[in-house]
Structure 1
Amino acid sequence: MSKKLLSPLSLAWLTLMAAIACEIVGTSFMAVAARSGAYQGYLLMAGALALSYYLLSLALRAISVGVAYAVWEGLGLIGLTVVSVWLFGEKLVAQELLGLGLALLGLACVTLGETHDEVAA
């Protein structure tokens, strides 16, 4: 009898994290393309965002749409903010940091509130 390495739920969360990474990459390329005018950035943006939506749709097989979308958007927002500060030299004020912290707290509440039906083995 073979034992699964990852449960369907664990695999869904890993897929969601990959979707978030693709969203951050795609939106970062959008910023690069908008600032430089290079159309290659728009092509990379479109590909990364399309992959992000595809991976998000796969994650929805085991994670409820509301929770998955909230986590995708929220962690994408926080990740993109980190990228914009790190790569693009943007500055954050205290109010923005507070808002990001509250968003993270909200994501934790939404995620911890999700329930899952037991899957038959």
Structure 2
Amino acid sequence: MLKAWFFLILAIVSEVFGVSIMNYSKEGNEIFVYGFMFLMIGIAYYFMSLSIRKISVGIAYAIWEIVGLSLITLIALFIFDTSLKTQEYIGLALAVIGITLVNLGEDHNV
């Protein structure tokens, strides 16, 4: 089971890295940036497919999405110097709470 969680983490990191690199497409090297993004997202789906062998699809996907969204938001805030409105912070917090509640409600004995 620990291996499945490790694969999920690799899927999240791959997706976050691939999506974050898209910001560099403005510099005129779109083909390299998009090619790298597609490669990283392909790797992310591969690791996701390995993780759902032991983790239920709904839980794995929910965790992938909220952790990925949170990491991409942090990268945007600290590396790309963007800003968020209060309602966006509230939305992120509610998403984290929702995913946590869904995960806690999942039957982990199966």
Aligned to 2:18: 26
Q: Percent identity at matched positions?
A: 39
Q: Which structure has the bigger radius of gyration? A: 1
1:34-89 Cα offsets, whole Å, 9 max, x none, are x2231211121111110000000100000111111111111111110111111111
Residue of structure 2 aligned with 1:78, choices 67, 70, 75: 70
Q: Which has the higher contact order (CA 8 A, sep 6+)?
A: 2
Aligned Cα root-mean-square deviation (Å): 1.2
Q: Give the TM-score taking structure 2 as reference length.
A: 0.92
2 CA distance for matches of 1:32 and 1:94? Answer: 27
1 CA distance for matches of 2:28 and 2:85? Answer: 28
Aligned to 2:108: 116
Offset at residue 117 of structure 1 (A): 3.7
- Would you say 1:42 and 2:34 are equivalent positions? yes
Point out where structure 1 has 5 or more consecutive residues left out of the alignment: 1-8
Q: Give the TM-score taking structure 1 as reference length.
A: 0.84
Higher helix share: 2
1 CA distance for matches of 2:57 and 2:11? Answer: 14
